C-alpha cells in the first residue's frame, strides 16, 4: 500500500506539472495571437467603418475625478471629460476589462514603464496644479477605451453602425432596431387578470429567455398559470433584446432595462425571482433594490466567490472563473472568453455572425435531436455585449456581493433557495454553500449527476414542480 500510495502521488504531481507546462505554452501562444488580432481588427475596422475602433489593449491613462469631471493626461496632453450622474459611474466598470496580467503584458510593462515613469509623473504634477484643490477627490487608473466610450455615450456623439460589420445583421438579431421603444424582449405568460403574484426569470451568460420558456413554461400546472404571471427576459445584448454598440453593459444598465421592460409596463409589485448562473448576480442586485417586493429568490449555480482580505476583488474572481488552464475544457473555454478580447471577437465573427448556417448544420447532423433553443441562446449575441457583461457583472461585482448577501440576510424576509448540479465544472458547488454561509436560512439542494445546464434541461418537470412549491410556500 505504501508503494502504491507513493506511485499515485508521483503520478499526480507529474500530471499537475505537465498540465501547468502545457497551459503555460498554450496561453502564451494565445497572448501573442490576441496581440496580432488586435492589429488586424484595427485595420479591418478602419477600412470597413472608416475609424479606429478603441480596444482594451491600449495603454492606461491617469484620471483625476473632480465633481463629475475627469482630467485625462497622456503623452503630455490633458483634456476634461464631463460625466453625468444619470448615465454611468466609473466604479461600475471592472478593471479586468483592461488589466489582465499575463507573461506578455508583464514583460511589456517592465520594458516600457521605466521609460515613461518620469514623464508621466511630471505630466500628472503639472495637471494637478492646474486643477482647483477644493474639487480634487481621488486619483485612479482608467483605460483610454473607457474614456472614449464614455465620451460618446454622454456627449451624444454618433454611435458605431448597428450592427457592426462583424455582427450578424439578420432580422432576428436586429429586430429591436425597428421598435419605437428600446426595451428588452419579454415573454409573458400566465394569469391575465387578478394574478396573485409575478415571477421573473433571468437567464445566465450567453443564453436567452428560451432557457426558461422551453423548459419551465410548458410544464407549469394549470393552478400556477391561473395564479401567477410569468416573465422571461432576454438580457441586454442577448437574444432578441437591444444590442447597442455604445453600451458598456454595466450592472446599472442591465437592472434599469429589466425595470423598464418588465416592472414598469406590467406594474409588477410583488414578485419571485428565478435566476441561473450570471443571472443570480442580477437577481441579488434587483432584490436589494426592491427589498419589500421580493417574495422568494431561487438561485441556480450562483457564481459567488468570497474574496480574501488584502486581495484585489475583481482580479481574484477573474482568476477563479477563468484560471488560464487547458483542462477541464469548460475552464479552458471560460479562460478564452475572459482573457482574450480579440480571439473572442473572432469566435463571434465565425459563429454568431453565421449562426443560421451553424444551426442548420447542427439540425442536419443531429437530425433535430439537439436542443435548438440552447443553440439560439449561445449564438444570438454580440461580442461587445458578451465581453462587457462577463467582466462588468461577474468580475466587476466581486466587491459588492458580500453587501448584497448581507442585505438579503438582515433586511429581506424572502425565501431563499439554491440549486446546484453535482457535476458542474464551471461554477463549483462551494459557491452555493458560500451563499448559505452568508444567508443561513437559504436552502441548498445539490442535484446528483447534473451539471451547469442539465440542472434544468432534462429534468424540466421535476424542477418546475419544485419551483411551484417554493412559490406556494413563500406567498402570502
Give catalytic residues, as residue numbers: 203, 277, 424, 452
Give the distance, in angstroms, between the CA of residue 397 and the centroid of all CA atoms in the same chain.
10
Nearest-angstrom CA–CA distance, 348 and 255: 25
Other CB atoms within a 10 A radius of the CB of residue 141 amount to: 11
The answer to whether 412 touches 471, Cβ cutoff 8 Å, is: no
Q: Which helix (H) or strand (E) holds 362?
A: helix 355-366
The answer to whether 290 touches 305, Cβ cutoff 8 Å, is: no
Nearest-angstrom CA–CA distance, 383 and 349: 8
> In 3D, which of 157, 134, 148 has the Cα closest to residue 81?
148
User: How far is the first Cα of the chain from the last one, in angstroms, to the nearest whole number?
Assistant: 60
Peptide bond into 202 cis (omega under 30): no
- Joined grid coordinates for residue 64: 483625476
Count of residues in the chain? 476
Q: From the CA atom positions of the chain, what is the Rg in Å?
A: 24
* Helix, strand or coil, per DSSP, at residue 181: coil
Amino acid at each position: 500500500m505504501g508503494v502504491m500510495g507513493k506511485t499515485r502521488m508521483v503520478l499526480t504531481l507529474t500530471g499537475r506539472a505537465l498540465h501547468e507546462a502545457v497551459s503555460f505554452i498554450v496561453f502564451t501562444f494565445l497572448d501573442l495571437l490576441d496581440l496580432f488580432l488586435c492589429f488586424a481588427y484595427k485595420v479591418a475596422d478602419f477600412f470597413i467603418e472608416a475609424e479606429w475602433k478603441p480596444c482594451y489593449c491600449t495603454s492606461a491613462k491617469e484620471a483625476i475625478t473632480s465633481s463629475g469631471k475627469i482630467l485625462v493626461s497622456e503623452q503630455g496632453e490633458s483634456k476634461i471629460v464631463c460625466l453625468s450622474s444619470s448615465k454611468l459611474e466609473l466604479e461600475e466598470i471592472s478593471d479586468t476589462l483592461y488589466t489582465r496580467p499575463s507573461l506578455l503584458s508583464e514583460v511589456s510593462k517592465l520594458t516600457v514603464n521605466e521609460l515613461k515613469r518620469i514623464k508621466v509623473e511630471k505630466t500628472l504634477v503639472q495637471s494637478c496644479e492646474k486643477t482647483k484643490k477644493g474639487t480634487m477627490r481621488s486619483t485612479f487608473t482608467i483605460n483610454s477605451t473607457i474614456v472614449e466610450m464614455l465620451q460618446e455615450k454622454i456627449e451624444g456623439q454618433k454611435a458605431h453602425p448597428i450592427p457592426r460589420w462583424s455582427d450578424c445583421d439578420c432580422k432576428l438579431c436586429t429586430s429591436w432596431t425597428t421598435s419605437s421603444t428600446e426595451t428588452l424582449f419579454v415573454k409573458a405568460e400566465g394569469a391575465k387578470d387578478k394574478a396573485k403574484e409575478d415571477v421573473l426569470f433571468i437567464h445566465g451568460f450567453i443564453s436567452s429567455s428560451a432557457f426558461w420558456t422551453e423548459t419551465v413554461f410548458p410544464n407549469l400546472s394549470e393552478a400556477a398559470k391561473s395564479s401567477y404571471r410569468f416573465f422571461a427576459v432576454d438580457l441586454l445584448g442577448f437574444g432578441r433584446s437591444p444590442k447597442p454598440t455604445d453600451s458598456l453593459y454595466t450592472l446599472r444598465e442591465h437592472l434599469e432595462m429589466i425595470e423598464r421592460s418588465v416592472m414598469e409596463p406590467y406594474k409588477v409589485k410583488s414578485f419571485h425571482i428565478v435566476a441561473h448562473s450570471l443571472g443570480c448576480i442580477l437577481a441579488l442586485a434587483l432584490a436589494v433594490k426592491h427589498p419589500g417586493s421580493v417574495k422568494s429568490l431561487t438561485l441556480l449555480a450562483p457564481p459567488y466567490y468570497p474574496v480574501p482580505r488584502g486581495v484585489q476583488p475583481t482580479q481574484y474572481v477573474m482568476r477563479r472563473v477563468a484560471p488560464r488552464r487547458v483542462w477541464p475544457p469548460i475552464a479552458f473555454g471560460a479562460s478564452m472568453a475572459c482573457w482574450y478580447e480579440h480571439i473572442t471577437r473572432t469566435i463571434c465573427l465565425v459563429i454568431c455572425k453565421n449562426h443560421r448556417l451553424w444551426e442548420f448544420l447542427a439540425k442536419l447532423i443531429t437530425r433535430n435531436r439537439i436542443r435548438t433553443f440552447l443553440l439560439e441562446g449561445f449564438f444570438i449575441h454580440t461580442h461587445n455585449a458578451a465581453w462587457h457583461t462577463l467582466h462588468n457583472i461577474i468580475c466587476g461585482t466581486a466587491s459588492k456581493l458580500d453587501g448584497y448577501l448581507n442585505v438579503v440576510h438582515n433586511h429581506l424576509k424572502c425565501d431563499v433557495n439554491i440549486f446546484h448540479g453535482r457535476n458542474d465544472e464551471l461554477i463549483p458547488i462551494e459557491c452555493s454553500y458560500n451563499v448559505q454561509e452568508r444567508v443561513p436560512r437559504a436552502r441548498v439542494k445539490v442535484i446528483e449527476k447534473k451539471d451547469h445546464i442539465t440542472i434544468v434541461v432534462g429534468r424540466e418537470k421535476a424542477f418546475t414542480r419544485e419551483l411551484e412549491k417554493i412559490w406556494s410556500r413563500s406567498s402570502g
